[in-house]
Chains A and B, each alone.
Chain A
Amino acid sequence: MIPTQLPLGLRLPAASRFDNFVAGPNRETVTAIEQLTLDRTASVLFITGAAGSGKTHLLQAACRAVETGGEAAVYLPLTTFSTMNPGILEGLEHYALIALDDVQAIAGQVDWEEALFHLYNRLREAQGRLLAAAAAPPDQLNIELPDLRSRLGWGAVYALQLPDDAMRLQILALRAQACGLELPDETARYLLRRCPRDLPALIALLERLDHAALAAQRRLTVPFVKAVLES
């Protein structure tokens, strides 16, 4: 057996920003979120969309934009937190923006729903902004607490469209560029044809290729990518 050197998990700091979001038909939604980060008054905005439509990217971009503007923001992926005590939501109202990802993760957990409801009210009083995202609109999330359901829907609800092939190519190219990876067109097209269509899977794949390319110190040519996918 030939010894193989394992590579370090080097990654360039990939930052989610509005200007590296491929908006396509979602321009209106992106503009609405950008507007939310600029308004300094209490407001709420809810975005929905399937996995891979860009919710997380936009939430993080919003936090970054608010922070760049000199205010504090926090990003909370509720899937990660839902197994914990909802007490972590205490005291968050001093943030200028709270970005709640994966709201569906706490739907049906009464203690979480209540904690969120109270946070919402405190935030409103403090003139804070709430940006929430979930797989479906608030009224389809099986939220038990009617008050929370209605409050989440008070502001505008936007639905994100999934990216088409052209957008996916653009996203892959941007991603590759952000990690300093050279992704030839041919290889990008090959990946799209050959691999699962949902974007998170594609991006995970790109990371795997990045890793493989670094280990082998090779370029991402189609034959090399084939070899990696088949191994």
Chain B
Amino acid sequence: MKFKIQREAFLKPLQQIIGVVERRQTLPVLGNILVQTTDQGLTLTATDLEVELVAQVGLEISAGGETTLPARKLLDICRTLPEEAWLEVQVDQERATLRSGKSRFTLATLPASDFPVIDELKSVQAFKFPQRDLKELIERTHFSMAQQDVRYYLNGLMLELDKKGIRSVATDGHRLAMCEMAAKTGVSDSQQVIVPRKGVQELLRLLEGDETEVEIQLGSNHIRVSTPNIRFTSKLIDGRFPDYNRVMPKGGDKQIQTDRGFLRQALARTSILSNEKYRGIRLSLDKNILKIQAHNPEQEEAEEELEIQYNGDTLEIGFNVTYLLDALGALPGDDVRILLSDANSSCLIENGGRGHCKYVVMPMRL
């Protein structure tokens, strides 16, 4: 294999895929990236056996072939070369030689056949979707995923497709976040997949906030998202996601309407003096008044009164303030509407206008 590439053309894709290469690898080949030549140029692949990232680089190839090269070393070499330098890579058997100007590096390679790649997905649903929207679906919900829960199917983000669109749902058993977007998915029956935490975080890192479309493919064991530069593939969690519709509060006779930023700032201030472990705060509702109170084991106290729109009965209810802040932070728009029924039932936080994000938070007994 032999090719010549400019530093920048190599550096960017390497930086994009290096994230999944773990620093401490028990299997040396997983510390490498797979380099393959194609008709159009190079394919660079990194994997941690769960998430795979593939970058394409358009290039003229002098001699074809495939090998694996130590990922971090390759990246460090590219990074430290002078700007716009040219790099010539030549692989002969077990050694790769990199030449640039008067620098020369010899790297150890490992055979490409040792490197596991994910094949074409089987039984696929595929559709196109603006990457900005996919990014939003994830950003507005991913913080509610569980972390190392024994219910392993909660340790991921559920994506649901149906005729009308795509929906993301995450829950850790205490709160739930849902976001939906209309899309022409082309599916007839609704289909659910659970993307593991790590895949969700990696995908979020890759997605840009623009309108270019990405192709989403759902296979029986994997999800694949192809952006113009990078192809992301993650294993799926082998489990069923809970029936999220059941926990969407129905009714809720007590309705608060207020400015989202106002409420968020007030909660953030009050939370400073909440118990660091439990993060409990007390909300007291009266006509057009919301009182927020917190105290900690050192007997320090915070209290704040907010003018809001509220016509219901008085109510006292406790919450983990982190859950409320997360939801208010992720909700789009200036306004927020909160529906409550009593101190033991969940509350629904949503937007007054566009209703495509919903957050359900269970209260705390204080």
User: Which residues in A have some Cβ–Cβ distance to B below 8 Å?
Assistant: 1-13, 180, 182, 214-215, 217, 219
- Whether, in the assembled complex, B76 has its beta carbon less than 8 Å from a beta carbon of chain A, the answer is no
Minimum distance in angstroms from B277 CB to a CB of chain A = 9
Q: Classify the secondary structure of B's interface with A.
A: loop
Residue among A1, A6, A180 with max Cβ neighbours from chain B (10 Å): A6
Are B149's CB and A217's CB within 8 A? Answer: yes
Query: In chain B, residues 159-188, which have Cβ atoms closer than 8 Å to a Cβ of chain A?
Result: 171, 173-176
B243 close to A180 (CB less than 8 A): no
B residues less than 8 Å from A10 (CB atoms): 171, 173, 242-244, 246-247
Residues 239-280 of B at the A interface (beta carbon under 8 Å): 239-244, 246-247, 275, 278, 280
Q: Are B243 and A217 in contact, CB atoms less than 8 angstroms apart?
A: no
Q: When the two chains form their complex, are residues B175 and A6 in contact, meaning their CB atoms are under 8 A apart? A: no
Within 8 A of A (CB), among B327-366: 344, 346, 360, 362-366
Which chain A residue has the least Cβ–Cβ distance from B279? A3
- A219 and B362 CA atoms in complex are apart in Å by 21
Q: Do B364 and A219 touch across chains, with their CB atoms under 8 A apart?
A: no
Additional pairs, 10, CB under 8 Å, beyond known A3-B280, A9-B246:
A2-B278, A6-B362, A7-B173, A11-B246, A180-B153, A182-B150, A215-B173, A217-B149, A217-B173, A219-B150
**Known contacts A3-B366, A13-B243; A8 and B173 CB within 8 A of each other:** yes
**Contact in complex: A217, B362 (CB < 8 Å):** no
Chain B: interface residue count, which band?
A: 20 to 34
Q: Please tell me if the beta carbons of A8 and B240 are within 8 angstroms of each other in the complex.
A: no
B345 closest partner in A (C-beta)? A6
Report Cα–Cα, A54/B142, bound state, in Å: 40
**Whole-angstrom CA separation of A24 from B336 in the bound complex:** 54
Q: How far is the CA of A180 from the CA of B150 in the complex (A)?
A: 10
A3 to B243, CA, bound (A): 27
- The answer to whether A217 and B365 touch across the interface, beta carbons within 8 angstroms, is no
A6 touching B365 in the complex, CB below 8 Å, given contacts A11-B242, A12-B243, A180-B239: yes
Closest to A220 in B: B150
Select A7's contact among B153, B280, B318, B362, beta carbons within 8 Å.
B362
CB of B240 within 8 A of CB of A3, answer no
| Residues of chain B having any CB pair with chain A under 8 Å | 149-151, 153, 171, 173-176, 239-244, 246-247, 275, 278, 280, 318, 320, 344, 346, 360, 362-366
**Minimal beta-carbon separation of A163 from chain B (angstroms):** 25
Most chain B beta carbons < 10 A, residue from A1, A3, A11:
A3
Interchain CA distance A11-B175 in the complex, whole Å: 14
**Is B173's CB under 8 angstroms from A4's CB?**
no
A-B contact pairs, 30 of them (CB 8 A): A2-B278, A3-B280, A3-B364, A3-B365, A4-B365, A5-B278, A6-B363, A6-B365, A7-B174, A8-B174, A8-B175, A8-B247, A8-B346, A8-B360, A9-B247, A10-B173, A10-B242, A10-B243, A10-B246, A10-B247, A11-B246, A12-B240, A12-B242, A12-B243, A13-B240, A13-B243, A180-B240, A180-B242, A214-B151, A217-B150
Q: Is the CB of A5 within 8 A of B320?
A: yes
- Report chain A residues within 8 Å CB of B318: 3
Residues of B within 8 A of A6 (CB): 174, 344, 362-365
> What CA separation (Å) do A12 and B171 show in the bound complex?
13
Given known contacts A13-B243, A217-B149, is B362 in contact with A8 (CB within 8 Å)? yes
